[in-house]
Amino acid sequence: MTARRQAARLVVLSVAAYGYGYWAAGSRPFTAGADAFVAVAFAPVAVLGARAWMATPATARTGNASRPAMTVGRDRFLLVVVAALVVLEVGTYVAGVGHARHDFPTVSSIYDELARWRTLKAAFFAAWLALGYGLFRS
């Protein structure tokens, strides 16, 4: 695939993910409708991730061959991002016990504040899809 075609594909997927996120952002959290949006979003991510996994040689999947440096770097980056978010969430939660929540905002409470605006909530949803796809592929 050429670089131009790959870039165009990324733009189309990003716009589609944002559009779907904007539509999903209109749902009420923790309802059957919101759960359906998540399930529908998970299906193509799972299919694309499985396709990418199947395209990887079996020796690379089992760890019997050296992995390309780019794959190792991406995996480490995703691991660091997820670990940092977990440490921040747990750390601020523990630090805030017994204090006003706004004194020690967690990642989820910051998200709750920003998610009041549907546009930002849609962007978070699209980023969540991208992170899920990245984790699934690795």
The pLDDT of residue 30 = 66
> How high is the pLDDT of residue 37?
85
In this predicted structure, what is the pLDDT of residue 137? 62
Q: What is the DSSP string of the chain?
A: --HHHHHHHHHHHHHHHHHHHHHHTTSPTTSHHHHHHHHHHHHHHHHHHHHHHHHS-HHHHHTSSPPPHHHHHHHHHHHHHHHHHHHHHHHHHHHHTTS-GGGS--HHHHHHHHTTSHHHHHHHHHHHHHHHHHHHH-
Residue numbers of the chain with a pLDDT score lower than 70: 30, 56-72, 101, 135-138
pLDDT at site 17: 82
Q: Give the per-residue pLDDT at 68.
A: 56
Whole-angstrom Cα distance, residue 124 to residue 25? 9
Say what the pLDDT of residue 76 is: 77
Q: pTM of the full predicted structure?
A: 0.50
